[in-house]
Amino acid sequence: MMGKLSFPRLFEAENAFAGRSSFEGEDTDRWLSIAALSIAVFYFAFKLVTEMDMSLDERVTATDRLIYVIGVSSIGAFAAWIFSVVLLKMTFRRSLSTALLGLISVVIANYVLELVLDIALLTMRWDIIWSNRVLTLLGAKMTEAMTQDYIPSENWRLWPIVYITWALMGAAYGTSTTTVRSFAAWFAVVTAVVFAYATNPQLANYSVDSVRNKLVISTILAVSAFGLSRAYSIRSGEYKVNRLKRIFAILAVVDFFLAILIMDPPEWLQAFASYCSNIPLLGDLLSPLTSPGVPASVWGGLFVNIIVAMAGCVLGLVVGIFLAFGRQSRLPVVKWPSVSIIEIVRSGPLICWLYFAMYLLPDVVDPLFTNPEDFDNILRMMAIFSIFGGVYIAEVIRGGLQAVDSGQKEAALALGLSPIQTKRLVELPNAIRTTLPSIVSVFIGLWKDTTLLFIINILDFFKLAKDMPNTDLSFLGYFLEPLYFSAVVFWVFAFYLSRISMSVERSLGLVKEGGGDKA
């Protein structure tokens, strides 16, 4: 029976990592592959047994030791497999460069991953992160309101935003080309990480059970939205699915503005909610908005970074589109103001414009606000990020507009489309399609640039992470853990944006030649 077995995927992996075998004959290759795998399994078992003798202390728990031992054993087994394949099959005789590259790569990977596991599980003191979870997410003021009984907590305002966002994300994935199996696998991983982080009772200064129940509701909403939108997409034609995607995109923008309105309802919204208080259902729904919420001046943590970055992306895209078309306009009254804004804003670094927003922008908006002091720092940062991101997006889109074939414009003119319709239905879709990777790069840059907020004393995620060792005397000197944690969080968001970009590119046919009909 063993002689009839074939391992095409295993042979393909061996060729990729270690090079091609020097022996002729599939039977010989098969038995050598089995021998290499056996050595790797034996090394895994040996490493697992020997490393489990590691002693425990207050820093290293049994769970930490188990994860570390399994990780180190797996990495070592992989390295043993590569070395065994190279030596047993003598791949260096047939493809020396591939064999050497595989060996060098596996040695480096083994060293780096073991170092990362050692730092993450054995050396670092992560209780500083567990005890400051609310602080890094919401900031000092909202943490105080959440953990002290004498201050009315307004954190309930966050959960409607979370519910809507989770449901929209599930619905959006339902209309995409993502398979149910892939969505279920990645959603399960993300959900497990979120639950593990938010509901771990270790050093928690909030109600873990309440947060767990709310996260369960969010999960149910996301899964239900995915199922409903996927069922609709299967039954409906492509044009209906595209219309549903447009609706979800509009709702995502509405969700952004809704988050700001729920957190800090303006006076007109409070008056409207009070006016509707006697209307059944609507009055009960709007009753929480009859009172002032959380001023933007006390927002903090990761929430600030997300809000400011979203302003730079959402509003910046709108600003960029108008500036791109304005710069190409033949009307001087439209063209030269657009050119001036782009060149002036683009010529200065972002940190200079942030200082401008802090100290000079209130004087600029004085005619627009009855009390310029109401123009909070966070709102100023959102305005600056929107304009700064918009000018870069404008230049990116302008390059895409110049690449639109003149024949398409002439065809639109022949069909009787007006200039506005031509720009909206022909030029803009093609420009965004061809410049999408560059636009997403600008978005990722804006997300990372939110770390500059700490320089002007905005209590953003990075600022709070940097100051986290000062929250308790027992944490003094532990400044690397918060910085590593913040680096991982920023990387996760940036990586997720890049994955979304690649998914959209595939749906538009950008990963292969052609595909313009999907734009």
pLDDT tens, residue by residue, 40-63:
999 999 988 888 877 776 667 777
To the nearest 10 degrees (0 to 180), the angle between helices 158-175 and 208-235 is 30
Could you give the CA distance from residue 95 to residue 18 in angstroms, rounded to a whole number? 9
pTM: 0.81
pLDDT grade for 146, boundaries at 50, 70 and 90: low
Instruction: Mean pLDDT check: name the lowest of 5-9, 140-144, 512-516.
Output: 512-516
Rg of the chain over Cα atoms, rounded to whole angstroms, equals: 28
- In terms of average pLDDT, the best of 3-7, 31-35, 120-124 is 31-35
For residue 519, the model assigns a pLDDT of 46
Q: pLDDT at position 78, please?
A: 92
pLDDT, residue 214, reads: 92
Across 12-26, 216-230, 282-296, 366-380, least confident range:
366-380
pLDDT band (50, 70, 90) for residue 148: low
**Mean pLDDT of the 71-100 span:** 87
Please check the confidence at residue 514 and state whether its pLDDT lies above 50: no
pLDDT in tens, 350-363: 888 888 888 777 76
Would you place residue 213 in the very low, low, confident or very high pLDDT band (cuts 50, 70, 90)? Answer: very high
Residue of 305, 309, 299 lying closest to 140 (CA atoms) = 299
Distance, CA of 213 to chain centre: 24
pLDDT over 90 at 392, yes or no: yes
**Three-state SS across 123-162?**
HCCCHHHHCCHHHHHHCHHHHHHHHCCCCCCCHHHHHHHH
Phi and psi dihedrals of 19, rounded to 5?
100, 175
Give the angle 512-518-519 at the CA atoms, nearest 5°.
100
Q: What is the mean pLDDT of residues 241-261?
A: 88
Calpha distance 293→155 (Å, rounded) = 10
